[in-house]
Amino acid sequence: MLRVENLINSFGDFKAVNGANLTVENGEIVAVIGPNGAGKTTLFNLITGHLKPDSGRILFKGEDISGLPPYTICKKGIARSFQLLNIFPRLTVFENVQVAVLSQHNRSLNLFRPARNMLIEETNRILKSVGLLDKANEIAGSFSHGDQKILEIAIALGNEPEFLILDEPTAGMSPEETTATMGLVKRLTVEQGLTLLFCEHDIDIVFSTADRIMVMQQGKTIIEGTPDEVRKNEQVQQAYIGGD
């Protein structure tokens, strides 16, 4: 479904992504791992259109999407959550997700009917599936960090994506929250037939959730393979254990 070919992107002289390759098949769960600064978030930003690549291609369902703006890429079926919290703090939980749903149904330019009454079912369904339905009317900014991260994911789901990208979905969460969240994510992926791409620092999570793993170091893809293949790979061991 998604293929990244030899992607390069630099900030001035610094090559944040220097030859990244990735293939994600329909329905798979793929994880990207790598030490800090390996370029994982930059890679995600390139895929979702927040950055333009210097060279290389990104193909989604056979179509070249490199360099398109984020809102166009979103409409093609890719949704993402962000590493640093990126919700709408002044709106309620319900409104947070509803904005995405409204966008998805192309209602965002509707002027004269109250948004309150629109697409309630769809929004509530999403809230229910992530377990936030009972907090729907609270202001998002007042939530705990963990709940806000779940809201992040819920907003992404509002776009009814085929392909979901999660950037460190459990960052800053306690171990219980982490397990619960990843369990939720895996369940949703199966239930809604999503294809999932995520990155994480918690290696256990990655190995237990992902079908395949891509390892990045200094902007390059070192290896793509099943968890076993990756575990045995020498370069990976070097990257994580050797060196610093």
Q: According to the binding rule CB under 8 A, does residue 35 interact with another protein? A: no
Single residue of 10, 23, 103, 218 touching another protein by CB under 8 A: 103
- By CB neighbour count within 10 A (0-12 exposed, 13-18 middle, 19+ buried), where does 111 fall? exposed
Taking residues 137 to 176 in sequence order and writing x for each that binds another protein by CB under 8 A, - otherwise, the string is ------------------xx-xx-----------------
Residue pair 77/104 in contact (Cβ under 8 Å)? The answer is: no
Helix (H) or strand (E) holding 148: helix 145-157
Single residue of 116, 121, 176, 191 touching another protein by CB under 8 A: 116
Q: According to the binding rule CB under 8 A, does residue 207 interact with another protein? A: no
Residue pair 140/171 in contact (Cβ under 8 Å)? The answer is: no
Cα–Cα distance measured from residue 149 to residue 156, given in angstroms and rounded to the nearest whole number: 11
Q: Which is nearer to another protein, 159 or 209 (CB)?
A: 159
CA 139 to chain centre: 23
Single residue of 112, 176, 191, 241 touching another protein by CB under 8 A: 112
Taking residues 59 to 98 in sequence order and writing x for each that binds another protein by CB under 8 A, - otherwise, the string is ----------xxx--xx---xx-x---xxxxxx---xx-x
Cα–Cα distance measured from residue 39 to residue 45, given in angstroms and rounded to the nearest whole number: 10
Residue pair 4/199 in contact (Cβ under 8 Å)? The answer is: no
Q: According to the binding rule CB under 8 A, does residue 118 interact with another protein? A: yes
Single residue of 117, 121, 137, 191 touching another protein by CB under 8 A: 117
Q: Which is nearer to another protein, 116 or 243 (CB)?
A: 116
Residue pair 96/140 in contact (Cβ under 8 Å)? The answer is: yes
Cα–Cα distance measured from residue 101 to residue 79, given in angstroms and rounded to the nearest whole number: 12
Q: Which is nearer to another protein, 37 or 69 (CB)?
A: 69
- List the helix and strand counts (H, then E) for the chain: 9, 10
Options 32-40, 105-113, 213-221, 229-237: segment touching another protein (CB under 8 A): 105-113
* Residue numbers at the binding site for another protein (CB under 8 A): 48-50, 69-71, 74-75, 79-80, 82, 86-91, 95-96, 98-100, 102-104, 107-118, 155-156, 158-159
